[in-house]
A and B are shown apart, each in its own frame.
Chain A
Amino acid sequence: MAVSVEQLADEMFAIVEESAGKRKLKAGDLQKAMAAKHGDEVSRKDVKAGIKLLIDSGRCVYGYFGGSSIELPRTEGAANE
């Protein structure tokens, strides 16, 4: 049974939540986590679609410090401390 994009998004959101404040996750980290969990059942495209869902829905945002990351939304100017 293929895994739905929504389910992937939920699973990835849990990972992002879990590592918030500890480690900044890149899209590649999420790709690897999903590949490890689901093996061939998910394609890179599905994971990409899942990430897009997370971002478009506003549950996650992109961050940037030397490299791009996927994070929980923070208040504006959080990097502005």
Chain B
Amino acid sequence: MATDVERKTDIGPPHYEQFLHPVMKANYGKWLYHDSIAPGVLSHTGPEGTIYTVRAASPRLASTNFIRNMTKIATDFCDGYLRFTSRNNVEFLTDKEENVDKIKAALAELKIPVGGTNNAISNVVHTQGWVHCHSAATDASGLVKVVMDELADYFTSENLPAKTRLAVACCLNMCGAVHASDIAILGVHRTPPVIDHSTLPNLCEIPTTVASCPNNAIKPTSIEGKTTVKVDEDKCMYCGNCFTVCPSMPLSDPLNDGVSIWVGGKISNARTEPMFTKLAVPYLPNNPPRWPEVTDAVKKIVDVYAANARPFERLGEWIDRISWARFFELTGFEFTKYHLDDFRWAGTTYKRSLQNRY
């Protein structure tokens, strides 16, 4: 590496303006309306003209080859302009309507679906999994792939009652938006950390490790004259907080790690206030490479929702209307003791009225 270049720091990101399509720059802050032209294709119009957007899926975990394929399409048909969405979709931006079909054709050649707009299942927000994270109870990219293989038609059409947002996170840290998605897949550990007493005294600060546990399950102890910690296994809820601050307390357990499924969250304020996801299925086995139990469960939820919800009713709004009892009835998922909350503010989830459906 050349050493004669000046080392710069704290320059921040480049200014966005240089990356804006001229039509977007001209209409900046002056847009009038948008239209949905086809699944995955939008047009936005302002006084200075119209910009067309073609939205394409991406695996998020993308190679430089994939990105060069995308920039090639942008160069060929969009004067080089493209963007990404908060849900890992790629958007191609052009002011030439006739280029929309060309972009779609170029994407089709690469076998990349176009869609994710309006009442579709958009791309999945997800995390690193076994590809890159030390905490993962499952893989994220693999789960996304198999679930979206199953649901791809919902990405390329707009036939659901309302938009449906999926997320996958591979441990309770939930780096994805699992706690507020219509359907969320969450990797879970189910056994307490296994303490490596040979490394813990060197690697971890005892007070920090003890303090990291929300349930006070960790206590200092001494083994062979060295201070280390022990875990009260009855109090452990396998959250992994301790592992985050102390690498000598891994939770990974191939026999017991698995996947849970959560439903009914939403972010937008449209109609109802934002909602958290709630537990639908507490445990399904990790069954790579294609996790058939998980894809079945997700498919089931989407199918039942599609068949029963009213137009523009989000999954959580639909369940609120029909009741959780009916949700379990319709999906056939078993309601278990694990569905009863026992953490902070658990009482707020208990039913305190006679208003049940019989």
Task: List the B side residues contacting A67 at CB < 8 Å.
Answer: 245
CA distance A66 to B240 in the complex (A): 11
CB proximity of A64 to chain B, nearest CB, Å: 10
CA distance A70 to B247 in the complex (A): 18
Task: Count A-B pairs with CB separation below 8 Å.
Answer: 22
> Chain A interface mostly helix, strand, loop or mixed?
loop
Number of A residues with CB within 8 Å of any CB on chain B: 8
Size band of the interface chain B makes with A:
10 to 19
CB proximity of A66 to chain B, nearest CB, Å: 4
The reply to whether B199 and A66 form a contact with Cβ atoms under 8 Å apart is no
The reply to whether B212 and A66 form a contact with Cβ atoms under 8 Å apart is yes
The reply to whether B203 and A79 form a contact with Cβ atoms under 8 Å apart is yes
**Contact A65:B245 (CB < 8 A) given known A23-B205, A24-B205, A24-B208:** yes
CB proximity of A65 to chain B, nearest CB, Å: 5
Q: A81 at the A/B interface (Cβ < 8 Å)?
A: yes
The reply to whether B246 and A65 form a contact with Cβ atoms under 8 Å apart is yes
**Contact A81:B203 (CB < 8 A) given known A65-B246, A65-B247:** yes
Chain B proximity mask over A30-48: 1 for CB below 8 Å, otherwise 0: 0000000000000000000
CA distance A5 to B208 in the complex (A): 30
Q: B159 at the A/B interface (Cβ < 8 Å)?
A: no
Task: List the A side residues contacting B207 at CB < 8 Å.
Answer: 23
The reply to whether B205 and A81 form a contact with Cβ atoms under 8 Å apart is no
**Contact A81:B245 (CB < 8 A) given known A23-B205, A24-B208, A66-B212:** no
Other A-B pairs beyond A65-B208, A79-B203, 7, CB < 8 Å: A24-B208, A65-B204, A66-B208, A66-B244, A67-B245, A79-B247, A81-B199
Footprint of A on B, CB under 8 Å? Answer: 199, 202-205, 207-208, 212, 244-247
Counting from the closest, the 6 A-B pairs by CB-CB distance are A66-B245, A66-B244, A65-B245, A24-B205, A23-B205, A81-B199
